[in-house]
């Protein structure tokens, strides 16, 4: 049980830090942690006891398991992970849950089969390999609401809604369903999931095919996102768009400009007004950031590793928000002294001097990371001040 006064003080400090960050008057960098469901599924404490072992197949196919796991894990995070971040500590005013499709949903939407392997996240297998490369073009686009795996997703949504109507509170707080189907892992990443590694040779041998495939997939993704925006009562032209495309770490800047920049512009125009473009790129992709800023107006990046923060801040200037920090390997396997030293090295690189930096793991917290290491990163951030402060 956390001390109530400590919780009050922590939450007040965190609110002050985020307020200063948003006002461009930083007192120190805010800290957050990306914690995906695979972290909880492999967490020894959460899986202790009879009937508590989580598995992704049950989680991905049963509404009761998905709902219960999300609520239990969110409650655990609020008291066990949040103290090492500038997130509010303690139970929230309202729980938010959703149909969690991990990252397999887009390929499965286009018909790729979903596989559940023991102790692994769900995944799909390519369906456009070899002479099947044109298979999807002959099928037409999937139904934007119920194509492929999305029929299963909407079944889960209906069943989760029924469960919430029967029991609308968890630990005394109301439970709210939030939208799904309004996000994309990126056109290149999706094309790789469906075509496999042959897509990389296609860039050289069959560039027209690559362009046709990217156009087709983006049209389908826009239709899906628009349909789910309408389904959930959202605007079809939201001012902000957040998307990923980790597969672009495998291509050159020249190829990015030729194949992906026109596709990204099409995607952004199809689902948003493009007022704020935020991109997740957690691989070796920083060579693309300047192009994405210049061509798309990208104003925020979630990074992974490797990242030269000093060079990246110098190239992008002071106004682009960057998220990043020690690698998940350092956080999991290093000592608290290692983590503190790496955190301070990053902060002293100049990346956070003018405030547009959010400290976090790089990228996606590994299961069973020692709390002492999370605390070392957090306390290093709390002790650090911008040079002008």
pLDDT at 13: 98
pLDDT at 177: 98
pLDDT at 388: 64
Instruction: Judge whether 363 and 331 are in contact, CB under 8 Å.
Output: no
Using CA atoms, how far apart are residues 182 and 350, in angstroms rounded to an integer? Answer: 35
pLDDT (tens place) for every residue of the chain, 389 residues total: 789 999 999 999 999 999 999 999 999 999 999 999 999 988 877 776 666 678 899 999 999 999 999 999 999 999 999 999 999 999 999 999 999 999 999 999 999 999 999 889 999 999 999 999 999 999 999 999 999 999 999 999 999 999 999 999 999 999 999 999 999 999 999 999 999 999 999 999 999 999 999 999 999 999 999 999 999 999 989 999 999 999 999 999 999 999 999 999 999 999 999 999 999 999 999 999 999 999 999 999 999 999 999 999 999 999 999 999 999 999 999 999 999 999 999 999 999 999 999 999 999 999 999 999 999 999 999 999 988 65
Q: Which class for 222: exposed (0-12), middle (13-18), buried (19 or more C-beta within 10 A)?
A: buried
Using CA atoms, how far apart are residues 262 and 324, in angstroms rounded to an integer? Answer: 27
What is the distance, to the nearest Å, from the Cα of residue 116 to the centroid of all Cα atoms in its chain? Answer: 21
Instruction: Judge whether 109 and 150 are in contact, CB under 8 Å.
Output: yes
Instruction: Judge whether 373 and 332 are in contact, CB under 8 Å.
Output: yes
The neighbouring-strand residues paired with 243 are 279
Helix, strand, or coil here: 22?
helix
Torsion over CA of 52, 58, 59 and 64, rounded to 10 degrees?
-80
Q: Which class for 75: exposed (0-12), middle (13-18), buried (19 or more C-beta within 10 A)?
A: middle
Instruction: Judge whether 85 and 77 are in contact, CB under 8 Å.
Output: no
pLDDT at 294: 98
Q: What is the pTM of this model?
A: 0.96
Instruction: Judge whether 331 and 373 are in contact, CB under 8 Å.
Output: yes
């Amino acid at each position: 049980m956390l001390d109530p006064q400590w919780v009050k003080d922590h939450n007040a400090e965190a609110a002050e830090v985020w307020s200063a960050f948003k006002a461009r008057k930083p007192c120190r960098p805010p800290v957050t942690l990306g914690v995906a469901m695979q972290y909880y599924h492999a967490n020894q404490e959460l899986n202790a006891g009879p009937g508590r072992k989580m598995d992704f197949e049950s989680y991905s196919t049963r509404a009761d398991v998905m709902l219960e796991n999300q609520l239990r894990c969110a409650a655990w995070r609020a008291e066990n992970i949040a103290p090492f971040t500038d997130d509010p500590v303690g139970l929230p005013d309202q729980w938010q849950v959703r149909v969690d499709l991990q990252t397999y949903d887009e390929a499965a939407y286009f018909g790729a089969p979903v596989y559940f392997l023991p102790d692994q996240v769900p995944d799909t297998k390519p369906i456009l390999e070899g002479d099947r490369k044109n298979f999807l073009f002959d099928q037409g686009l999937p139904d934007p609401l119920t194509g492929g795996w999305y029929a299963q997703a909407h079944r889960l949504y209906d069943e989760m809604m029924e469960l919430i109507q029967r029991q609308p509170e968890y630990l005394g707080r109301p439970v709210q369903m939030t939208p799904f189907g309004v996000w994309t892992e990126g056109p290149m990443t999706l094309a790789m999931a469906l075509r496999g590694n042959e897509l990389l040779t296609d860039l050289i041998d069959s560039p027209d095919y690559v362009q046709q495939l990217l156009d087709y997939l983006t049209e389908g993704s826009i239709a899906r996102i628009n349909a789910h925006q309408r389904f959930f009562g959202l605007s079809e032209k939201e001012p902000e768009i957040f998307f990923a495309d980790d597969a672009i770490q495998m291509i050159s800047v020249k190829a990015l400009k030729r194949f992906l920049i026109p596709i990204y512009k099409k995607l952004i125009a199809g689902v948003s007004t493009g007022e704020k473009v935020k991109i997740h790129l957690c691989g070796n992709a920083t060579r693309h950031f300047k192009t994405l800023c210049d061509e798309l107006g990208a104003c925020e990046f979630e990074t992974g590793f490797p990242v030269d923060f000093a060079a990246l801040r110098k190239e992008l200037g002071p106004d682009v928000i960057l998220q990043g920090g020690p690698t998940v390997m350092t956080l999991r396997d290093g000592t608290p002294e290692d983590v503190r030293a790496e955190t301070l090295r990053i902060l002293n690189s100049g990346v956070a001097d003018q405030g547009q930096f959010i400290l976090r793991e790089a990228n996606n917290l590994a299961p069973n990371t020692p709390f002492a290491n999370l605390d070392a990163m957090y306390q290093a951030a709390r002790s650090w001040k911008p040079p002008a402060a």
